[in-house]
Amino acid sequence: GESVGLHLPTLSVQEGDNSIINCAYSNSASDYFIWYKQESGKGPQFIIDIRSNMDKRQGQRVTVLLNKTVKHLSLQIAATQPGDSAVYFCAEQYYGGATNKLIFGTGTLLAVQP
Amino acid sequence: EPEVTQTPSHQVTQMGQEVILRCVPISNHLYFYWYRQILGQKVEFLVSFYNNEISEKSEIFDDQFSVERPDGSNFTLKIRSTKLEDSAMYFCASSEAVRQPNTEAFFGQGTRLTVV
B92, B107 contact by CB (below 8 A): yes
Give, rounded to a whole angstrom, the gap between the first and last alpha carbons of chain B: 36
What is the rounded CA–CA span in Å between residue B29 and residue B98?
A: 10
Q: Give strand ranges (E) for chain A.
A: 10-14, 19-24, 32-38, 45-51, 56-58, 62-67, 72-77, 86-93, 103-104, 108-113
Quick one: pLDDT band at residue B20, thresholds 50, 70, 90? Answer: very high
Partner-chain contact B55 A98, CB within 8 Å? yes
Distance from CA of B19 to the nearest CA of A (A): 20
Within the 77-116 window of chain B, which residues sit less than 8 Å (CB to CB) from chain A?
85, 91, 93, 95, 98-99, 103-110
pLDDT tens profile B33-71: 999 999 888 899 999 999 899 999 999 999 999 999 988
pLDDT of res. A8 = 79
The CATH number of domain A21-113 is 2.60.40.10: yes
pLDDT value of residue B100:
62
Question: Residue A99 above 80 pLDDT?
Answer: no
Instruction: Classify each residue of B55-82 as buried b or exposed e, where b means 16 or more C-beta atoms within 10 Å of its C-beta.
Output: bbbbebbeeebebebeeeeebebebeeb
pLDDT in tens, A47-98: 999 999 999 999 999 999 999 999 999 999 999 999 999 999 999 987 666 6
Residue A3 has pLDDT above 50, yes or no: no
Cβ separation A102–B105 shorter than 8 A: yes
| Share above pLDDT 70 across residues of chain A, in percent, rounded to a whole number | 89
The rounded distance, in Å, linking the Cα atoms of A36 and A33 is 10
Q: Which residues contact A47 (CB under 8 A, 6 or more apart)?
A: A34, A35, A36, A37, A59, A62, A75, A88
**Residue numbers in A near B95 (CB within 8 A):** 100
**pLDDT at residue B41, as a whole number:** 86
Question: For B5-95, which CATH superfamily applies?
Answer: Immunoglobulins (2.60.40.10)
| B68-105: pLDDT as tens digits | 998 888 999 999 999 999 999 999 999 887 666 557 88
Average pLDDT, chain A: 89
| pLDDT value of position A84 | 97
Burial of B14 (0-12, 13-18, 19+ CB in 10 A): exposed
Mean pLDDT across A18-31: 92
